[in-house]
Each structure stands twice: as C-alpha cells, then as structure tokens.
Amino acid sequence: MCALQYLRPDLLHLKPYDAVLPQAADKLDANEFPLDWPIGFKQKLSLLWEKGIPSNRYPDANHHGLKQAIAVYAGADPTQISVGNGSDELIRSLLIATCLGGRGSILVPEPTFSMYAILAGSLGIPVVRVGRDADTFALDPDLCNLALAEHPIRVVCLVDPNSPTGNGLSEAEWAWIETLPPEILVILDEAYFEFSQHTALPKLSDHPNWVILRTFSKAFRLAAHRVGYAIGHPQLIQVLESIRLPYNLPAISQWAVQIALEHAEEFLADLPLLRQERETLYTALQQLPGVRVWPSQANFLYLRVEGRDPQHLQREWQELGTCVRSTGGGLRLTVGTPEENQRALDRLRQVLR
C-alpha cells in the first residue's frame, strides 16, 4: 500500500464510521426515538433562530444557560457538568484526559457500544476486550479482574443499560464496580437513562472516579443537534472543559436542548407507551421459530436467529424495508412506531419463511 509517510501508521487501517441513510425504509438501526419533535417546539426554535440568535456571533462558549438547565433536570450542580458535541465527544475527551500518551489502556466488555474502541483506536490507546456471559451478557468479575492484573487499565467502559444487548447492570456487577480502585476511571454511559430510569447519580459523591454520560439524542429526540453531557467530580469536569474545543456546540443546539428541558415532562410522558411497545414486540419476536430475543431496559431489542448469519439476515430484512443493526453476533432492533414494529415483524416472518 502506498501510504502518505507523514501519517501515523496505526491509523491507516481505520475506516470512517458508516451509518446507513436509507431511502424509503423504516429506520430501526440507530436507537433514535421514532417521532420527530412536536411542531410547536420547532416553531419556537425557528423563531429564536430568526429573532434571538445573531448568526455572526460565536455561541456561548461556557454553555452557561444550558448547564444550568441540565443541572436542574439531572439533579446535579453545574460545576459537575460538561456538555459535548454528542456524548461521543465526551468519550473522546475522557480518553484524552486519562490514557493519551501511553498512560494506560481501556477495558471494554463486549459486545457493547462500538465508539469506545473506535475512539481509543484513533488516539492510539490500547483496548482490552473481555467477553460477557453468553446467556445474560453480564460482566464476569473474575475475567475483568484478570484483565486488570495483566494490563495497565486506566478506564473501565460500562454502558447501563448496555447497547446492543439491553441488559442493565446487576447487583453483582455493581458490587464489582464498587471494588475498582480510585486510580481507575469508571465511565457509566447512561445514554438510555430515560428509558431505564436507573442512574448511578446518588452514588456519585462517594466515587470521585466515576463519571456518568448522558445524551439528548435518544429520549429527547435531538439526535440531529448533537448534544450530550457528563456528570462527574468538579476537578474532572474542569479538565474536560479545558481540553474541549472552545465553541463545540452551535447556538441553535444549545437552545434546542433548553426548549426540550422546559418541556421535559411532555417528552417523558411518551416513554411508557414506548416501553409498552417494546414489550409487545418482545413477546411477538419470542414466538417466531428459531428467534432468541433478550429482555431490554432500553428502546431496542437484541436478537439472534438460530442457524442464520446476522449480517445476511440484516441485509434481507433491509431489502424488505426495515433497517436494523448487525452487531456483536446478533441484531439490534430499535423500537419504532406501532406501524414500524408491525412491519418489522411481518418482514422478519417473511425472511424466516
């Protein structure tokens, strides 16, 4: 291969993140909320864009109003909050703040959210992968401890509930997390908090080495606006604030989140219905021959089909009009509208016939 010699050799095998932009298909592959923002909120944001946001001026670099609103919503202090261009940006900042320059590796229990390993790779940070229990996808504390003994691990990456498998952290897993020493940062990715209603926040003050990540891309339907936040120890937050790009969040995104939080109750009121749809879908999938589907605390379901290659299955399902994600040896299906879910089931039946 003819490589440009000024490039880092370890980057030459990387590929850009590939997200499908399907035409005329049900998009159930990215865990987005199935409904767009209510039109009234969009009009409110449009009006701000017309009258209240000077486009020649830089946005608020300190995210002052935004942090205030997030602090109230989350039940934390603004000094415990840093806001990122998606929580993906915060993952990268956390890795820069801890492991960059040969200061350590990250522990990633697989299958899980792919961005941890991808971002570590882009920074030249080694990734130590451990498998999860084949039935429950729980962590194996012994395997994790072995990895900790063998590698200079600085960060443990945990998604709760996990993507793509949907399981929340169990009592036993929490007991293991409590044993992690203060020199290891524990990332608790709560991207699906609004669906699971479970958070590590009450225990955060006892653990200066824990940090929570959340996002507005899922329950608040703002994936297009790219806003996520971290809640952690003020000293960690100050470092995150110091290493990020100064104007990382467009003014309109900051305002979109503030409008979302003013109307948080309305957004959250739609979640019980989505959870109900998830359970209906779960039951229906369970009844299909050869299908194994796992319980989920989030807005998606994880499934495998006996004797079928997930990648082939994903392509066949997509050809019929439903996009799902093939990952970790299975398929992740986002819960959509009742109509999208019904079509997903009908099409899967057709594929399996």
CB closer to ligand PLP out of 162 and 343: 162
User: DSSP states of 43-73 as a string?
Assistant: HHHHHHHHHT--TTSPP-TT-HHHHHHHHHH
Q: Find the binder of ligand PLP among 159, 200, 251, 256 (CB under 6 A).
A: 159
When binding is defined by CB under 6 A, the residue of 215, 254, 334, 341 that contacts ligand PLP is 215
Pick 26 or 189: Cβ nearer ligand PLP: 189
- DSSP character string of 208-223: TTEEEEEESSSTT--G
Tell me which residues in 89-118 interact with ligand PLP (CB under 6 A).
113
Closest CA to 322 of 24, 99, 57, 42: 24
Question: Which two structure tokens, joined as six digits, stand for 125?
Answer: 């940070």
Complex with ligand PLP: residue 25 or 187, whichever CB lies closer: 187
- Among 113, 124, 122, 100, CA closest to 185: 100
For residues 21-60, which are near ligand PLP according to CB under 6 A?
31
**Closest distance between ligand PLP and the C-beta of residue 116, in Å?**
9
Question: Exactly one of 98, 163, 196, 322 binds ligand PLP (CB under 6 A); which one?
Answer: 163
Phi, psi for residue 257 in degrees, rounded to 5: -65, -40
> What's the 3-state SS for 66-104?
HHHHHHHHHCCCHHHEEEECCHHHHHHHHHHHHCCCCCC
> Under 8 Å CB-to-CB from 339, ≥6 apart: which residues?
none
**Binding piece for ligand PLP, criterion CB under 6 A, among 86-94, 140-148, 249-257, 306-314:** 86-94
Distance in angstroms (rounded) separating the CA atoms of residues 110 and 115: 12
Which CB sits closer to ligand PLP, 113 or 317?
113
296 binds ligand PLP (CB under 6 A): no
Size of the site for ligand PLP (CB under 6 A): 14
Farthest-apart Cα atoms in the chain, separation: 59
Binds ligand PLP (CB under 6 A): choice among 228, 232, 310, 328: 228
- Considering the complex, state which of residue 163 and residue 248 has its C-beta at the smaller distance from ligand PLP: 163
Query: What does the binding site for ligand PLP look like in residue numbers (CB under 6 A)?
Result: 31, 86-88, 113, 159, 163, 189, 191, 215, 217-218, 223, 228
